[in-house]
């Protein structure tokens, strides 16, 4: 008679090495303090991942450094964000079939997974992506870009108004505005 032992995932190294079977997660929980890197993003997660039957709970604090683009001047810079998370990952068969459901406040902490495996590395990276605001300024004093020539006004002075003022058609308008 041959006996197989099922390996329990008990360490963060085992948890983040690639897709893992949910049923192999230990129910005692795994303490996690790990820095994960993706394309133009670094995420540090400090918390715990536990399983009760088919439901996985991810709770802790997440810190993110992500390369983003300033909405005014279009320069890239690092944006920082952090959040406390408490998410319940449920199997997709628990998604209600009804077309319209009324969400309760506690439902907002639910997410769903497909199949028997999950890639926690990718999931934590995507959580990090979701907490960085989509509207980012490189600084509160960002002057943006010139609407006419596209010059970054944080780096250089725009010469458009000088060039346009020297054109014969606009010279009269330019001097009229100067008088008023």
Give pLDDT, residue 148. Answer: 86
> Domain boundaries in the chain?
12-142, 143-180
Q: Is 150 helix (H, G, I), strand (E, B) or coil?
A: coil
Alpha-carbon distance of 66 to 118, in angstroms, equals: 24
CA 65 to chain centre: 9
Q: For residue 118, what pLDDT is reported?
A: 85
Higher pLDDT residue, 178 or 115? 115
pLDDT value at 157 more than 90? no
pLDDT band with cut points at 50, 70 and 90 for residue 161: low
Closest CA to 29 of 63, 57, 60, 61: 57
What's residue 102's pLDDT? 63
Give yes or no for residue 11 having a pLDDT over 70: yes
Q: For residue range 26-67, what is the model confidence (pLDDT) as tens digits? A: 888 889 998 999 899 999 999 999 888 888 999 999 999 999
Element (H, E) at 117: strand 117-118
Write the DSSP assignment of 161-176 as a string of letters.
Answer: HHHHHTSHHHHHHHHH
pLDDT of residue 104: 60
Q: pLDDT tens digits for 59-115?
A: 999 999 999 999 999 999 999 999 999 988 888 877 777 666 665 655 556 778 888
| SS (HEC) of 122-134 | HHHHHHHHHHCCC
- Sign of the alpha-carbon dihedral angle for 105, 136, 85, 37: positive
β-pairing, 76-91 vs 55-69, is antiparallel
> Looking at the chain, how many residues does it have?
180
CA distances from 103 to 5, 58, 79, 87, 107 (A): 41, 20, 31, 15, 6
């Amino acid at each position: 008679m041959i006996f197989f032992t099922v390996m329990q995932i008990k360490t963060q190294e085992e948890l983040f090495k690639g897709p893992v079977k949910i049923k192999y997660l230990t129910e005692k929980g795994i303490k996690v303090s790990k820095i994960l890197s993706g394309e133009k993003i670094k995420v540090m997660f400090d918390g715990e991942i536990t399983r009760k039957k088919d439901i996985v709970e991810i709770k802790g604090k997440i810190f993110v450094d992500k390369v983003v683009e300033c909405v005014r001047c279009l320069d890239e810079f690092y944006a920082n964000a952090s959040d406390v998370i408490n998410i319940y990952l449920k199997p997709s068969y628990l998604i209600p079939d009804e077309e319209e459901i009324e969400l309760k406040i506690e439902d907002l902490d639910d997410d769903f997974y497909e199949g028997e495996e999950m890639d926690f590395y990718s999931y934590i990276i995507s959580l990090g992506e979701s907490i960085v605001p989509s509207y980012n300024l490189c600084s509160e004093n960002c002057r943006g870009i010139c609407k006419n020539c596209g010059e970054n006004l944080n780096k250089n002075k725009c010469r458009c108004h000088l060039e346009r003022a020297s054109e014969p058609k606009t010279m009269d308008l330019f001097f009229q505005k100067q008088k008023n």
